[in-house]
Amino acid sequence: MHIPDGFLDLKTTITTAVASAGGLGYGVKEIRRKLGDKHIPLLGVTAAFIFAAQMLNFPIAGGTSGHFLGAALAAILLGPWASLLIITVVLAVQCLGFADGGITALGANIFNMGIIGGVLTYYLIFLPLRKTLPKTKRGFLTTSAITAWASVFIASIIVALELSISGTSPLNVALPAMAGVHALIGIGEAIITSVVLVGVINIRPDLIREYSKPEEEA
């Protein structure tokens, strides 16, 4: 759901860019406070993995494709603010290096996928579910899969809102269309996120922040 140049009006462009910059500013402080030296390469390699996985468009119904987003996975692995930073790096590389996503929409794309898909979904979906569901591997994976699905679904709704505020497509048209197709893409997101988490649990479960740390710290 990388927005190209031309879809958003000036006020939406500026508002989302300011929100993203603010989020990143706060995020940097949180990362500095909560992560240590061993996380440095993990941040880099998680960003690289997400970049690679985002190239892999998978077909969904009706001549449409979707691809992995990775914001929920990164938030579960390294925390929501590290996720925002990672998504920002990926989006910036894609925009500047590969002409994917407009440069005027970069702030909005960071907002939609990083702040909504990564940070908001973490606090809104992941943490409450984590507290509710059993503290087992299955409970953790269920929580993660639902969070992954929701990250794509909710972000697509925000994109629809931005399109309608910008006068690009009316809300009653954009919202059902975006939410409908991304409800399907979200299933792919949930599957990929689960597969990766199962893989990491099998080799280094301690590297998953949300899997290993004591509950109170959340």
Q: Closer CB to other proteins, residue 84 or residue 130? A: 84
Find, among 5, 1, 24, the residue nearest to 105 by Cα. Answer: 5
59-67, 117-125, 139-147, 210-218 -> range binding other proteins (CB under 8 A)? 59-67
Q: Which residues pair with 175 in a beta bridge?
A: none
| Residue 122 sits in the site that holds other proteins (CB under 8 A) | no
| Residue 192 sits in the site that holds other proteins (CB under 8 A) | no
| Residue 31 sits in the site that holds other proteins (CB under 8 A) | yes
Q: Which residues pair with 133 in a beta bridge?
A: none
Q: Which of 18, 21, 45, 198 binds other proteins (CB under 8 A)?
A: 45
Q: How far is the CB of 104 from other proteins (least distance, A)?
A: 5
Residues 147-186 that bind other proteins (CB under 8 A): 156, 159, 163, 168-169, 173-174, 177-178, 181-182, 185
Q: Which of 85, 125, 141, 158 binds other proteins (CB under 8 A)?
A: 85
- Cβ pair 207, 42 in contact under 8 A: yes
Return left, alpha or beta for 123; rule: phi > 0 is left, psi -120 to 50 is alpha, else beta.
alpha
- Cβ pair 112, 158 in contact under 8 A: yes
Q: Which residue type, as a one-letter code, is found at position 139?
A: G
Residues 91-120 that bind other proteins (CB under 8 A): 92-100, 102-104
Q: Which of 19, 133, 165, 207 binds other proteins (CB under 8 A)?
A: 207
Q: Is 85 helix (H, G, I), strand (E, B) or coil?
A: helix
List Cβ<8 Å contacts ≥24 apart for 93-98.
Answer: 93/51, 94/2, 94/51, 94/54, 95/2
| Residue 47 sits in the site that holds other proteins (CB under 8 A) | yes
Q: Which of 10, 25, 62, 217 binds other proteins (CB under 8 A)?
A: 62
| Residue 21 sits in the site that holds other proteins (CB under 8 A) | no
